[in-house]
Amino acid sequence: MDKILRWYMDGNIARAKTEVGGAHYLDADYAPEWVHIKVRLAGKGSNPTVLDINDDGVSIFNDQPALTENQTEKMWTTMPGDTLREKSIITLDIDRVFSEDTCRDLTVELGLRKV
């Protein structure tokens, strides 16, 4: 792995919102390899917490990664493989949250390989 981008949100993940945890500016061209999602306390409900990572405002996924009820960790490797270009701004969105009880202390990591 050549680069890992990391986002961290402290506390309850209680609502959908865009551009959380900061933005990353790419210093070269990279291909996404995996996404690792981890929470300290799992959420509950029939609706999972769904995340999205964007390259200059456009999703890098065909299918967005999600944590389902009682899950505290997930490695997502279903990546389209499109190249993220140098000088792109990479951001994280929370598109949906658990329907009954929130998860807590979210960390998201994106593993990148230089191309």
pLDDT tens digits, one per residue of 13-51: 999 999 999 999 999 999 999 999 999 999 999 899 999
Q: Quick one: pLDDT at residue 79?
A: 86
Neighbours of 92 (CB within 10 A): 25
**Count of helices and strands (H, E) across the chain:** 0, 9
Prediction pTM value: 0.94
